[in-house]
Chains A and B, each alone.
Chain A
Amino acid sequence: MKISDKTVNKLRKNIAGYTFMLPLIIGVSVFSFWPIISSLIYSFHKYDGFMTYEYIGFRNYVDLFKHDIDGLGKVLSNTFIFAAGSVILSLSLSYLLALSVSKQSKGVYAIRVLFYIPCVIPGVVMAAMWADLLAENGAFNSIFTSLGLPKFAFLDSPETSMITLFITGLWGLGGGMILWLAAFNNIPRTMYEAAEIDGAKSFTKFVKITIPMTTPTIFYNMITGVIGSLQYNGTLMLAPNSGRGYENSIYFISVKIYRDAFIRMKFGYASAAAWILFVIIGVLVIIMFRTSKWVFYGEE
Chain B
Amino acid sequence: MKKTFRKLTGMLLVAALCLTCAVACGPNPGRTPSNGDYEAGITLDPNISANLKIGFYENTDVKQHFEELEKAFQLRYPNVSISIANYGSESYYMDLMQEYNTNNMPDIIQTNATESFPLMEAGLLLDMDNFIQLENEKYVENKAKDPEFFQFENFEDQFYESLWKLGQKNYDGHQYFIPRSADRIVVYYNREQFIAAGVDMTTVRNGWTWEDFLAACEKLKIYYAANYSGKPFISGQWQWEAVLFPMLESAGGKVFDANGNITLNSPETLNAVNLLKDLVVKGYTKEKDPNSLAFETGTAAMQFASLYPDYYIKNLGENLGIVTFPLIGRQSGDTVDYSNAKIGAGITGYGIFSGLTGEKRELAWQFLSFSLSREGQECMAKGGVTQPPIRKDMQDGSNLWRQNKGNLNLDAFFWGSERNYSTNFFIVHEPSKQVDLMQAVINMFNEPIRGSGKDPQQAVSDCVNVLDGIIKSN
Binding site for B on A (CB under 8 A): 29, 33-34, 37-38, 41-42, 47-53, 59-60, 63-64, 67-69, 71, 135-137, 153, 156-157, 241-242, 246, 262-266, 269
Partner of A34, one of B21, B100, B123: B21
List of B residues within 8 angstroms of A64 by Cβ: 474
B24 touches A34 (CB 8 A): yes
Partner of A68, one of B25, B432, B447, B474: B474
List of B residues within 8 angstroms of A242 by Cβ: 439
Given contacts A69-B470, A264-B432, contact A37 B18 (CB under 8 A): yes
- How far apart are the CA atoms of A69 and B468 in the complex, in Å? 10
Most buried by A among B100, B435, B470: B435
- How far apart are the CA atoms of A38 and B21 in the complex, in Å? 7
- How far apart are the CA atoms of A239 and B151 in the complex, in Å? 54
**19 A–B contact pairs at CB < 8 A?**
A33-B21, A34-B25, A37-B25, A38-B21, A41-B22, A41-B25, A49-B97, A49-B100, A49-B101, A50-B122, A53-B26, A59-B474, A63-B473, A67-B473, A69-B470, A71-B469, A153-B452, A156-B450, A241-B439
B415-458 Cβ-contact flags toward A at 8 Å (1 or 0): 00000000000000000110110010001000100111000000
Partner of B443, one of A63, A241, A264, A265: A241
A37 touches B122 (CB 8 A): no
Identify which of residues 89-140 in chain B touch chain A, using a CB-to-CB cut-off of 8 Å: 91, 93-94, 96-97, 100-101, 118, 121-124
Which residue of the partner chain B has the closest CB to A151? B451
**How near does chain A come to B93, taking the closest CB pair, in angstroms?**
6
Which residue of the partner chain A has the closest CB to B439? A242
B44-88 Cβ-contact flags toward A at 8 Å (1 or 0): 000000000000000000000000000000000000000000000
Which residue of the partner chain B has the closest CB to A42? B25
A136 touches B100 (CB 8 A): no
Given contacts A41-B26, A53-B27, contact A262 B93 (CB under 8 A): yes
B267 at the interface (CB under 8 A from A): no
- How far apart are the CA atoms of A71 and B472 in the complex, in Å? 11
B474 touches A50 (CB 8 A): no
- How far apart are the CA atoms of A218 and B291 in the complex, in Å? 45
**How near does chain A come to B466, taking the closest CB pair, in angstroms?**
9
- How far apart are the CA atoms of A265 and B123 in the complex, in Å? 13
A266 touches B432 (CB 8 A): yes
Shortest beta-carbon contacts, A-B, top 6? A63-B474, A69-B473, A38-B25, A49-B97, A50-B122, A37-B21
List of A residues within 8 angstroms of B22 by Cβ: 37, 41
- How far apart are the CA atoms of A157 and B453 in the complex, in Å? 10
Given contacts A37-B18, A262-B94, A263-B435, contact A50 B25 (CB under 8 A): no
Which residue of the partner chain B has the closest CB to A136? B288
Most buried by B among A63, A153, A246: A246
List of B residues within 8 angstroms of A48 by Cβ: 118, 121-122, 432
B298 at the interface (CB under 8 A from A): no
**How near does chain A come to B76, taking the closest CB pair, in angstroms?**
32
B384 at the interface (CB under 8 A from A): no
B33 at the interface (CB under 8 A from A): yes
List of A residues within 8 angstroms of B290 by Cβ: 135-137
- How far apart are the CA atoms of A246 and B448 in the complex, in Å? 12
A47 touches B473 (CB 8 A): no
A49 touches B450 (CB 8 A): no
- How far apart are the CA atoms of A246 and B27 in the complex, in Å? 36
- How far apart are the CA atoms of A47 and B100 in the complex, in Å? 14
List of B residues within 8 angstroms of A47 by Cβ: 27
Most buried by A among B17, B27, B97, B443: B27
- How far apart are the CA atoms of A250 and B460 in the complex, in Å? 22
A49 touches B93 (CB 8 A): yes
**How near does chain B come to A133, taking the closest CB pair, in angstroms?**
14
- How far apart are the CA atoms of A157 and B452 in the complex, in Å? 9
List of A residues within 8 angstroms of B121 by Cβ: 48
- How far apart are the CA atoms of A49 and B290 in the complex, in Å? 38
Identify which of residues 23-45 in chain B touch chain A, using a CB-to-CB cut-off of 8 Å: 24-27, 29-30, 33
**How near does chain B come to A89, taking the closest CB pair, in angstroms?**
25
Partner of A50, one of B123, B436, B452: B123
**How near does chain B come to A4, taking the closest CB pair, in angstroms?**
10
List of B residues within 8 angstroms of A263 by Cβ: 435
- How far apart are the CA atoms of A226 and B422 in the complex, in Å? 46
A69 touches B433 (CB 8 A): yes
List of A residues within 8 angstroms of B435 by Cβ: 263-264
- How far apart are the CA atoms of A69 and B437 in the complex, in Å? 10
Contacts A68-B474, A269-B474 known; 10 new A-B pairs at CB < 8 A: A37-B18, A37-B21, A41-B22, A41-B25, A50-B123, A51-B123, A51-B124, A53-B27, A157-B452, A265-B118
